[in-house]
Structure 1
Amino acid sequence: GCKTRGIKLCGALSAAALIAARLSKCLPDGEWEKYAVVTLIDCRKLLEPALSSHHVGFYHSAILNTHDMKGGEELWELAGRTYTSFADAKNSNKHFSDMADLNFLMCRAIENPGLTPSSSLRTSFISVFEDPVIDETNEDHKELGIEDYMGCASTHGVGPTIAIFDTVRQGKLDCACVYPFPLHSREQMQELIDNMKKILINSL
């Protein structure tokens, strides 16, 4: 679906999450809400000299976009809108030019939690990666006796309500979802993720 529309998976994941989040509030259609999406970009290939994807370290930058939702949005239209906003910002080098501003705002939020919604230290609703990890090493893992695994990173402090670490493993989408506890409960997040899955599957 993403390939036929010229967008990346991060657009569809963001759109499904935004639709699910707004549905969870049971707001009437036509009532506008604003949501922020942070898209993380692996900058290793953009450096001089370029680094391989296996180079150890954190080389990600981020672009923050906000989206207005009024209810009744369709997945693929919203996915196109979220991805286009991100792509336009990236083409304008926002992931480099805005880095100092984002770091400044993060520091201010840490020092003044009251500046964030409900003093929650949440800077966005969701964070996604521009590109998923592609994993085709299933046979090697079987030989080692590994049945399942996931990879993600998390830090305490300022961050999104939910961070999605997506991997395409043997042609199947596998996501690890990280959220701040006890700010949000497992039941609350499970309901959100279940609704995201329904939205994605029903739109295929």
Structure 2
Amino acid sequence: MAARLFKGIPDGQWEKYAVVTLTDCRKLLEPSLSSHHVGFYHSAILNTHDMNGGEELWELARRTYNSFRDAMNADKHFTDMADLNFLMCRAIENPVLTPASSLRTAFISVFEDPVIDETNDKCKEMGIEDYVGCASVHGVGPSIAIFDTVRDGKLDCACVYPYPLHSREQMQELIDNMRKILIDCCE
């Protein structure tokens, strides 16, 4: 919704948006692995959604979540793994295949599992005022990654984007749009 608002597309005009949801597959393996097991065990589910500008936030959230849930129930995160690996390899081998020098398949990525952080006192003891933990691959997949954490009971988000593909001004406008949509829908 924020991207659509950012682009200034008139209501009634349909546009397709994609969401990539990264899933930590360690708990799904046999035998399952703990989250402390070193290595990259993530897969992704790509879902596309048509929007015409008349959507309500919670209706859209329900629709996108149901698409994600259905894909997970169909083991899409495992069956599509070869396709995702193929796309990633092509992006790395051929970074200039598109005019924007990217092979973006989605605008934004989200993560399935929430991160809850209650280590504030430990950080203060060590003199750490702020920190962000994130990893993102820009080339195939989304151009923007949002890393959300519930830190000491409050929502804390970090936005990672490739420069100069996106400017700081663009990102600030997008984030302002996201904030406005969330506040308006929660009032």
TM-score normalised over the length of structure 1: 0.84
Percent identity between matched residues is 83
Equivalenced residue count is 186
Match of 1:181 in 2: 163
For the residue of structure 2 that corresponds to 1:203, the secondary structure is helix
Correspondence 1:80 to 2:62: yes
- The 5 Å alignment of 1:1-204 reads 19-111=1-93, 120-204=102-186
Shift of 1:115: 6.3
- Whether the 8 Å contact between 1:109 and 1:116 is mirrored in structure 2 is no
Gaps in structure 2 of 5+ consecutive residues: none
Shift of 1:97: 0.8
Classify 1:46/1:118 alpha carbon distance in 2 versus 1 (closer, same or farther; 3 Å).
same
Classify 1:156/1:38 alpha carbon distance in 2 versus 1 (closer, same or farther; 3 Å).
closer
Give the Cα–Cα distance (whole angstroms) in 1 for the partners of residues 11 and 44 of structure 2.
31
- Whether the 8 Å contact between 2:102 and 2:139 is mirrored in structure 1 is no
Classify 1:115/1:70 alpha carbon distance in 2 versus 1 (closer, same or farther; 3 Å).
farther
Give the Cα–Cα distance (whole angstroms) in 2 for the partners of residues 49 and 120 of structure 1.
37
| Cα-Cα RMSD | 1.8
Classify 1:98/1:156 alpha carbon distance in 2 versus 1 (closer, same or farther; 3 Å).
closer
Q: Which runs of 4+ in 1 moved over 4 A?
A: 109-119
Gaps in structure 1 of 5+ consecutive residues: 1-18
| Higher normalized helix content (fraction of residues) | 1
